[in-house]
């Protein structure tokens, strides 16, 4: 059985930490606050869905 992650913490998606988004962590949170980056809130955690990251990857090619 292969389990794929469906939600990512903002720290996981920035390039500095091996992610794909070349933005600062504060810019990621600002984008989430403005509604430019979708997220799911679970408790106090804000998590970015995998489909948004896949959409970014697809648009770069």
State the pLDDT at residue 17.
82
In a domain? residue 16:
yes
Cα–Cα distance measured from residue 46 to residue 60, given in angstroms and rounded to the nearest whole number: 25
Total count of domains within the chain: 1
What residue has token string 């770069």?
Answer: 60
Helix (H) / strand (E) element for 57: namely helix 50-60
Kindly report, residue by residue over 15-45, the tens digit of the pLDDT.
888 888 889 999 999 999 999 999 999 999 9
In a domain? residue 1:
no
In a domain? residue 2:
no
Answering whether pTM is above 0.95, one says no
């Amino acid at each position: 059985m292969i389990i794929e992650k469906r939600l990512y913490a903002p720290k996981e998606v920035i390039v500095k930490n091996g992610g794909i988004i070349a933005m600062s962590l504060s810019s990621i949170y600002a984008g989430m606050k403005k509604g430019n980056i979708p997220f799911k809130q679970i408790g106090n955690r804000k998590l970015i869905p995998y489909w948004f990251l896949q959409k970014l990857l697809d648009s770069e090619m």
